[in-house]
Structure 1
Amino acid sequence: MLLNVSYNNPEIRKKIDNEVGKPFSFFERIKQGGIGLGHLIITSSSIEIQNLLALDKYRNKCNIELRPNGIIIGFRALLESYALVIPYWKLTIYKGDAQEYSIYRDTYCIKIEATEKRVHQFIKRILTEKEKQTPVSIDDL
Structure 2
Amino acid sequence: MLLNISYNRPDIKEKINAEVGKPFTLVERFRLNGTGSPKLHITSTSLDIHNLLVLDNNMNTCNIELRPKGIIIMFRSLLETFALVIPFYKLHLYKGKAREYSFYRDHYFIKVKAGDPSVHKFMMKILNYKAENAPTQVEDL
TM-score w.r.t. structure 2 length? Answer: 0.95
Question: Where do residues 49-88 of structure 1 align in structure 2 (5 Å cutoff)?
Answer: 49-88=49-88
- Per-residue CA deviation, residues 39-72 of structure 1 (Å, 9 max, x unaligned), is 1000000000000000000110000000000000
Question: Where do residues 14-25 of structure 1 align in structure 2 (5 Å cutoff)?
Answer: 14-25=14-25
Structure 1 letter corresponding to 2:124: K
Q: Which runs of 5+ in 2 are unaligned?
A: none
Percent identical: 56
Counterpart in 1 of 2:107? 107
**Residue 81 of structure 1, CA deviation:** 0.2
- My pick for the range that moved more, 125-134 or 38-47, is 125-134
Q: Does 1:128 align with 2:121?
A: no
**Residue 126 of structure 1, CA deviation:** 0.5
**Residue 25 of structure 1, CA deviation:** 1.1
Within 2, Cα distance between the matches of 1:28 and 1:7?
Answer: 27
- Per-residue CA deviation, residues 68-92 of structure 1 (Å, 9 max, x unaligned), is 0000000000000000000000000
Within 1, Cα distance between the matches of 2:32 and 2:16?
Answer: 21
Q: CA RMSD in A?
A: 1.4
Q: Secondary structure of the residue that 2:38 maps to in structure 1?
A: strand
Counterpart in 2 of 1:30? 30
Q: Which runs of 5+ in 1 are unaligned?
A: none
CA gap 1:89/1:98 in 2 versus in 1, 3 angstroms: same
Within 2, Cα distance between the matches of 1:139 and 1:76?
Answer: 36
Contact 2:38/2:118 (<8 A) preserved = no
Within 1, Cα distance between the matches of 2:74 and 2:138?
Answer: 33
